[in-house]
Amino acid sequence: MTDLSTLAFANLLSPMVLCFVLGALAAWLRSDLDMPEAMVRGMSLYLMLAIGFKGGVAMAGNASMAALLAVLAAAGLIFLLPFVAFPLLRVAAGLSRVDAGALRFGRRDHLRHRGRIPARN
């Protein structure tokens, strides 16, 4: 039990979790937390690299067929997501082809100009 609590404590104090908690707390308190754009980009890059390296080290220690199958399954789901999301957005949300395609590919600016998504404050 001590090993489990030590592992949980170490994971809760990792930079990724602490940044998430800070962001969630700021959103919950409706804080006007604003950071310079260069700092936001730097932190984002650091967090992506830290998560990638941590995952890479874990994968290197446990390389197996199950891990390979999990990676292939994730890649397959990522490939299939646009083919599922487009018709679902058309039917469930009632969006046009252009609007559903814009959301599918992450281009929300197109919808802001049409008044479908409110502008950021």
Reported residue count of the chain is 121
Q: What is the DSSP letter of 116?
A: S
Q: Are 50 and 16 in contact (CB under 8 A)?
A: yes
Q: Which residues contact 114 (CB under 8 A, 6 or more apart)?
A: 99
* pLDDT at residue 120 tops 80: no
The per-residue pLDDT for range 67-113, each reduced to its tens digit, is 788 889 999 998 998 888 888 888 888 888 877 777 655 555 555 55
Residue 43's pLDDT band (boundaries 50, 70, 90)?
A: confident
Residue 105: what pLDDT?
Answer: 59
Mean pLDDT of the 8-31 span: 83
pTM metric for this prediction: 0.42
Q: Are 116 and 99 in contact (CB under 8 A)?
A: yes
